[in-house]
Structure 1
Amino acid sequence: MSEFTEHIQQELIQPIILLVDREEPAGEQHGIAAAALASVQAFLGDPENPDWREWASGHFGKTVRRADAKMFAKVLAAFPDHVLATAGEASAVGLPPMPAAELPKLLAKLQVSGTQLPPGEPLPPQSLSIVLNASLEMSTGKAAAQAAHALFAWLLEAKPAVAEAWAADGFPLGILELPAKEFRKGARKSAGPVIQDAGRTEIEPGSTTAYVIVAKAK
């Protein structure tokens, strides 16, 4: 077994399950925001779980998987430690980190690639927003994972009082999609790290994908 293969098998990943209703799917921005919120709310709901510390010390990998309404209900029932996050029309489940090679069968059979939601209505502006690099033309699933990376990275670096105020306000979250030039320009004012993708799926390694911005109080 190569060192790379062994590393992948031992790697902890956080499963995020996005509800993709077959008849009335949520809009894309709503789904992306729900997935990102599911990631951080799962952590905030159980920060003393030792797996979080080990996971966050690495690349805090995530796997965003889609489920129709029937499978989504099964996930809710099967994992009592889940966190259910909502954003507009969308819902997503966040779970604690677990070994990538040992995902429960119910999760492992849920699809990752090809997750796409219709454009739908954009989310209203919020005090905190995730900015996505629209020039990369990421699928909904890929964009959701990158948004979750950006939001979690911001949370780890944010002052406790700022994060607590955001949570107390109900976790308001907007999604902005900017072309490459505006994305790079806005990154200078980001409130957290600018996420670079490892390039395992969809886009080139090192591509800058997402960051968080916080609106100044008036």
Structure 2
Amino acid sequence: MISENERDPLELVQPIILRIDKHDPPSAEEAISAVARAAVLAYLSAPQDERWQLWAQQAFAKSVRRANPKFFARVLEETEHGMISEVGKAQAVGLLPLPAAGLPKLIAKLQVSGTQLEPDEQGLRAPVTIALNLGLGMSTGKAAAQAAHALFAWLIEAPAPQVEAWLKEHAPVGVLWLERREFAAVASRAVGPVIQDAGRTEIEPGSSTAYVLQTEV
């Protein structure tokens, strides 16, 4: 598998920074929802920016990094055009795509791997819900990146009135973990592409990780 440090230096990657307060952390579902929303809201804030156009021609690469409250505040102070997403106790900020080899020092030193939060037994439901493949054993950070891929893929294909209605409701995003067999069975009801991972981190290339469902709350 290709690690974060082995990316093509010319590739653009969208950094998404997740705030985690170790004394009062969010649930895994809150964090995943916040990250996915932040990624998409950042795009919607400036869809015509040429960096998005180039990024979309590549691999839609995302890098979910965690920060404590102090460093999260610094990220907000030192970066431009970031879009903040809040879900429960989770906060995330989505940034514009940047060269993989040219991330600002503050962002580059934030941890990518090892982000693991406790799930909430009640889950997180919304009319737009991201189904995740529980059988892959993804970390919270990995699952968040896959959820962001799925939400972005849904956004690109969804009818404009549907997206507008979702945004008017403040873009709620649910998170649903499904065992491997159920994940495969329910995939026929996906309202966007089933995401297959490139295998750069944690899981094997081609693994089906996430898709969007429209559900009744």
Q: TM-score range by the shorter chain?
A: over 0.9
Instruction: In structure 2, list runs of 5 or more residues that go unmatched.
Output: none
Partner of 1:200: 200
User: What pairs with 1:1-218 in structure 2 (closer than 5 Å)?
Assistant: 8-120=8-120, 122-215=122-215
Give deviations 1:61-120, integer Å, cap 9, x for gaps: 000000000000000111131110011221101000011010000000000010111224
User: Could you tell me how far 1:125 is from its partner in structure 2?
Assistant: 2.0
User: Could you tell me how far 1:57 is from its partner in structure 2?
Assistant: 2.0
User: Could you tell me how far 1:215 is from its partner in structure 2?
Assistant: 2.6
Count of residues in correspondence between the two structures? 213
Q: Distance in 2 between matches of 1:121 and 1:109?
A: 33
Q: Report SS of the residue matched to 2:9.
A: helix
Change (3 A) 1:187 1:20: same
Q: Distance in 2 between matches of 1:166 and 1:203?
A: 31
User: Could you tell me how far 1:121 is from its partner in structure 2?
Assistant: 5.5
% identical aligned pairs: 53
> Would you say the 8 A contact 1:26–1:120 is kept in 2?
no
> Would you say the 8 A contact 2:7–2:100 is kept in 1?
no
User: Following superposition, which runs of at least 4 residues in structure 1 exceed 4 angstroms of deviation?
Assistant: none
Q: Report SS of the residue matched to 1:210.
A: strand
Q: Distance in 2 between matches of 1:215 and 1:178?
A: 14
Q: Distance in 1 between matches of 2:202 and 2:124?
A: 28
Instruction: In structure 1, list runs of 5 or more residues that go unmatched.
Output: none
